Chains A and B, each alone.
Chain A
Amino acid sequence: MSSTLQSILVYTFIWGSIYLLISLGFSLICGVLRIFHLGYGVIFVIAAYGTWMFMEDVGLGFIPSVLLMLLVQIGIAVVVFYRGVFQRYLEEEEILLTLSVLISIALMHLANYLYPVTAGVSIPSTIIDAMLKIGAVRISYQMLLAAFVGIVVTFVFVLMFLKTRIGLIVRAISQNLEAATLMGANVTKMYYLAIILSVIPPTICMLMIAPFWGVDPFMGSPLLMTAMLIAILGGLGNLKGSIVASYMIGFIHATVSFLYVSRFMGLAALIITLIVLMIKRGGLFAGETLW
């Protein structure tokens, strides 16, 4: 097998798994609450800058900082986004979308104000600073680790939705809200749960990709775009679709990068998504259900 083909296969797996981690929370919100969470990108910013704040300003260690940041993250998701926006404006989509974006932009600017680029924000989450050789391809352990974590987190989420009672209720809500309510499902409780669960993959993602990703206050926007692209391609809110779409985008990126030129990988993914949507309206999988 040629080295280019090996590179494409390896990086499809690596990038696809990372994209999965980026998009999982967004797809979950789409699937359960049936909304486009345009403030999703700020979760990555809070993960990075929250951890940094607790480490640098409060002087805590890495693990306590991450745990406290996660509490802040959940607090913002529940109080600001869910109670402040989603719950109030669930029926008024334009207000909900606008407010989500505005809150997200405000938080990014706050991060920029508190820790401008000169502050040198970073997350010391490098575990193995070395390279692994797979066939003719050399890959950093850190990327590989991020990819495996992506798969594990997705597996846990899928398992939860397929094998637990809570997962069953969440799926029922995602398929038919009225029927689920009539069957006695506590929708509000499940919404809270979905909101809390949705911050976990992007938070873990940020910690995993920080060793090879740039950290800046406005990094949330491109990450939101990636999550949206995958969710749309896969079928809004369908986790099965998100998994397939993540690896498909990973494959497009790897193919364009190794066969042509890396700067067109984003454009190529957009064009192919457009073509898919023209052929299969609604994306690869039906968006009416979470799985």
Chain B
Amino acid sequence: MKRNLFLIGISFICLAMIGEVGIAQAQSTEPIKIGFMGNLSAPSSISAKAAAMMAVDEMNQAGGILGRQIKLIVEDTKGEIPKCVEIYKKLVMVDRVLAVFIGEKVEMGVAGMEIGAELYPEYPHIFFSTIGSGDDIWHHVRDNYKKYKFGFQTYYFISTNYLKILSELNSEVFKKLIKAKKVAIVYEDMEWTKPLRKGLKDVSPRLAEVYKKNGLEVVYETTVSLDQKMFSSVFEEIAASGAGVVDCTVGYIDEAAFIKQWSQSSARNIPVSLWGGLAGMPPAWKMTEGKVVGVMIGSSMVKVPITKKTIPFMDNLMAKYKVGPIFGSHTTYDSLYGFKKAIEKAGGIGNIEALIKQLEQVEEVAVLGTIGWEPRYHYNLPYPKYITPIVQWQKGEMKVIFPLQFKQADYIPPDDLRR
């Protein structure tokens, strides 16, 4: 009897083990779930969503990640922080996604990161912020790595890099291409421009000081507000200052009004360089009735083959998903491919800590260069790894004028272009 019981017991354990193996196999063939959330009324989030769908579709067609298909779960935050938190919880706790991508302004990313940090010990996952600008996301990682190590930021707007990298490049563009000696700086009144206005302690002096160090004289500085509609006084003062170029650290002001008023001001022949925003999108020409001619801006929406992926990405997004690439779509698409490579290098998704380590080391060919994340701070590798070309509006088109290896046209002064 005892022997029989022993045999029954052994058989039961064996059966259970076979069952476990079966379950484990079933789990390993289940799709990898990824959540995407954004304000699906905002063009940037709509474009980022399409880019995420395109990346997932491409990966699934190519056999998925380590043989597993990917399932993308899309959610709409409607631009509301409470909704963002609620959706984040749902994605992580109910849908059990491996990663959450937030393709929206940085406030949403920060809200997501905070709730993600609370959930992480029980529900290990990865978080990507692919549109939010500023330093908030990576500062969380820098200041408390243990708590926020699951968070990664893929976006160009990192003030530290602005002060250390972009300002140096701008100095080069202003001096060598535009032949300007005097600069007027216009800041927008937002958190991300604060380091530019005031400098970063122990990192960099303020932007004006960086320009001065590079041999440019800053003759005028002002800050404009986001709700401002009238800029005439700013341009009249710039014209009176004798500036040779207007450097605008803006991305969220009413750029259409800003540009229209510049083109009808005493400063209309002084070249304007914008750091980002609406003027770097193809509709800017129509929106301003061509008044954007001569304006320079950092834009990733120009068709220049930075890598073999750039042109197909732009064409396919438009052709198959009926959405134009806007800021945030490239970064979302590239982040997904970087994430895929990290999973492959980690040998799967079973160990999130190992996956984080791989994300800190991974480098993958991207639409805008090479995607990867800085190991300590988790922001994406900056220029020259990840490139945002400086373009100039010429005859209805954006033409790359910098970096020189991607140059499509020479810089032309605005008054010459208007002729």
Contact = CB atoms under 8 A, between A and B. Distances in A.
Nearest to A259: B233
B289 interface: yes
A140 B264 contact: yes
Contact of A262 (B43, B234, B239): B234
A167 B17 CA distance: 93
A117 B301 CA distance: 15
B266 A131 contact: yes
A120 B237 CA distance: 30
A124 B224 CA distance: 27
B260 A120 contact: no
A73 B289 CA distance: 24
A72 interface: no
A129 B229 CA distance: 19
B419 interface: no
Nearest to A222: B227
Given A131-B264, A211-B260, A213-B257, A266 B287 contact: no
B224 A262 contact: yes
A137 B222 contact: no
B233 A120 contact: no
B284 A265 contact: no
Interface in B249-292: 254-258, 260-261, 263-266, 268, 278, 281-289, 291
A143 B232 contact: yes
A280 interface: no
A258 B233 contact: yes
Contacts of A138: 236, 239, 265-266
Given A116-B43, A120-B283, A214-B229, A126 B223 contact: no
Contacts of A3: 240
Interface string B33-52: 00000000101001000000
A266 B227 CA distance: 9
Contacts of B286: 120-122
B261 to A, nearest CB: 5
Given A122-B286, A129-B264, A142-B264, A212 B257 contact: yes
Interface string A251-266: 0011001100111011
B281 A118 contact: yes
Contacts of A175: none
Interface in B185-204: 189
A119 B222 contact: no
B230 interface: yes
A120 B284 contact: yes
Interface string A114-157: 00111111101010010100000111111100000000000000
A7 interface: yes
Contacts, number: 108
Interface string B315-348: 0000000001010000000000000000000000
Contacts of A139: 232
Nearest to A56: B286
B288 to A, nearest CB: 7
B132 to A, nearest CB: 19
Contact of A7 (B233, B254, B284): B233
A253 B230 contact: yes
A11 B223 contact: no
Contacts of A214: 229, 254-258, 260
Given A131-B266, A212-B261, A122 B287 contact: yes
A213 to B, nearest CB: 5
B231 interface: yes
Interface string A44-58: 000000000000000
Contacts of B291: 129
Contacts of B260: 211-214
B307 interface: no
Contacts of B232: 11, 139, 143, 257
Taking each of B232, B278, B281, which has the highest tally of chain A beta carbons within 10 Å of its own beta carbon? B232
Given A11-B233, A215-B256, A118 B228 contact: no
B29 interface: no
Interface of A: 3, 7, 11, 15, 109, 112-113, 116-122, 124, 126, 129, 131, 137-143, 211-216, 222, 253-254, 257-258, 261-263, 265-266
Q: Which 7 A/B pairs are nearest by Cβ-Cβ distance?
A: A120-B283, A120-B286, A140-B264, A257-B233, A214-B256, A214-B257, A263-B225
24 contacts: A7-B236, A15-B230, A116-B46, A120-B285, A120-B286, A124-B289, A131-B265, A138-B236, A138-B265, A140-B264, A211-B260, A211-B289, A212-B257, A213-B229, A214-B256, A215-B256, A216-B254, A222-B229, A254-B233, A257-B232, A257-B234, A261-B223, A262-B228, A265-B228
